[in-house]
């Protein structure tokens, strides 16, 4: 089926360091990347998922859409972090309409927030493995305040947010659109600026999720503490900028220490997964986010996790015109575009 233009959404990934937008259309030959843009945002405008400066961010979004000639105003956005809870639960078997009526009562025992303060959603996964009278359900709870802040930000930028997704699900959407999971358990790990998210898949089903407050900003913070520079200077130095005050060996030492921290936390999360699923060895890890470009991280994680580690290509099964996009830029930006692409392939009336 070829979707009409009115079904299309722009994927808008609002991160703590940058904002990314992608427009992917359905053609008779398959999906095609029509627009993609990225812009940095001021340090501190978003911290731990909290929007501190909506006016500046809204202007950044408007400028991003203008610079990359994105006309569509219907968008899909995503949220993550500790204001979002995703849990796989078992409930008495019932149809979707019945569950819709009782989900608040089911959720209260699993959600550490006041149930009146959250938006709830669910996805029925199928029959429970151990009890035929029960079914597995993915329960998603997001703090209303956070959802409203992101929806209001999109509105402030002149956009119409049609879908609010969870970052880990958007990433899974990208994976499923481009890769065959096969029979191997796969861990999707996104290393962002301030947050790392882990989503473990068995086949096409997500069975374990966790967010950790670690990310690429740690490198900046260690650089700042060492040479007392600005955040923007630290960002430049992180990507190979020259400085009389920071040697290549010092930078290498900082990156090694941060990468070791990432691997330790990921290993802990994997160990927790193995405590629940002792027979389900993870053989494949797919990395996304800015941290995916750190070669030392990929090598160390492969050793620590005893798994094959690769970097995601969110455009693997999406046509990207070399005339419209610089192939080197697309290759470099690909890991950071994974969530954006997963949002962009959603449609207006998706569940």
Does the domain at 1-83+144-179+316-351 match CATH 3.30.420.40? Answer given as: yes
Range 84-142: architecture per CATH: 2-Layer Sandwich (3.30)
pLDDT at 161: 97
Q: What is the mean pLDDT of each run of 10 residues along the chain (351 residues)?
A: 67 95 92 96 90 97 97 96 88 94 91 92 89 93 96 98 94 94 89 91 85 90 92 82 83 93 94 90 94 92 95 96 94 95 91 62
pLDDT of 196 reads 92
Q: CB-based contacts of 19: which residues, under 8 Å, 6+ apart?
A: 12, 13, 38, 39, 41, 57, 60, 61, 64
**Contacts of residue 11, Cβ cutoff 8 Å, sequence gap at least 6:** 20, 21, 22, 23, 24, 75, 76, 170, 339, 340, 341, 342, 343, 344, 345, 346
- Name the helix (H) or strand (E) containing 143: strand 134-143
Residue ranges per structural domain of the chain = 1-83+144-179+316-351, 84-142, 180-312
pTM for this predicted structure: 0.91
Yes or no: say if 298 and 292 are a contact pair by the CB < 8 Å rule.
Answer: yes
Tokens of 255: 């990156």
**Local structure of 210: helix, strand or coil:** strand
CB-count burial class (<10 Å; 0-12, 13-18, 19+) for 346: buried
Neighbours of 166 (CB within 10 A): 21
Q: Please, is 230 exposed, middle or buried when counting C-beta atoms within 10 Å of its C-beta (0-12, 13-18, 19+)?
A: exposed
Separation between Cα atoms, residue 202 and residue 228, nearest integer Å: 46
pLDDT of residue 3: 43
Query: Given this structure, which CATH class describes domain 180-312?
Result: alpha beta
pLDDT at 213: 86
Contact 160, 170 (CB under 8 A): no
Task: Examine domains 1-83+144-179+316-351 and 84-142 and report if their fold is the same.
Answer: no
């Amino acid at each position: 089926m070829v979707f009409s233009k009115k079904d299309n959404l722009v994927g808008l990934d609002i991160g703590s360091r940058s904002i990314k937008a992608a427009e992917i259309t359905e053609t008779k030959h398959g999906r095609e990347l029509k627009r993609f843009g990225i812009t940095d945002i001021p340090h501190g405008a978003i911290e731990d998922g909290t929007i501190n400066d909506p006016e500046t961010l809204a202007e950044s979004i408007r400028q991003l859409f203008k610079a990359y000639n994105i006309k569509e105003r219907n968008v899909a956005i995503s949220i993550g972090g500790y204001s979002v809870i995703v849990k796989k639960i078992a409930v008495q078997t019932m149809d979707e309409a019945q569950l819709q009526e009782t989900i608040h009562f089911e959720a209260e025992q699993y959600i550490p927030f006041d149930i009146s303060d959250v938006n709830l959603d669910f996805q029925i996964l199928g029959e429970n493995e151990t009890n035929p009278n029960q079914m597995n359900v993915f329960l998603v709870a997001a703090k209303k305040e956070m959802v409203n802040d992101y929806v209001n930000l999109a509105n402030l930028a002149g956009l119409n947010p049609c879908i609010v997704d969870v970052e880990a699900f958007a990433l899974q959407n990208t994976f499923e659109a481009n890769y065959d999971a096969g029979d191997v358990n796969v861990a999707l790990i996104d290393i962002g600026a301030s947050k790392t998210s882990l989503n473990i898949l068995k086949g096409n089903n997500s069975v374990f999720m966790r967010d950790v407050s670690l990310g690429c900003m740690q490198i900046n913070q260690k650089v700042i503490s060492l040479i007392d520079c600005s955040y923007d200077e630290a960002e430049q130095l992180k990507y190979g900028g020259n400085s009389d005050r920071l040697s290549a060996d010092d930078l290498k030492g900082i990156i090694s220490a941060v990468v070791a921290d990432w691997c330790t936390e990921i290993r802990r999360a994997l160990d927790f997964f193995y405590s629940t699923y002792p027979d389900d060895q993870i053989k494949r890890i797919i990395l996304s986010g800015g941290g995916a470009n750190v070669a030392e991280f990929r090598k160390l994680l492969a050793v620590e996790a005893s798994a094959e580690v690769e970097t995601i290509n969110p455009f693997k099964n999406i046509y990207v015109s070399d005339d419209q996009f610089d192939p080197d830029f697309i290759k470099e930006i690909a890991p950071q575009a994974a969530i954006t692409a997963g949002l962009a392939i959603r449609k207006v009336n998706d569940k």
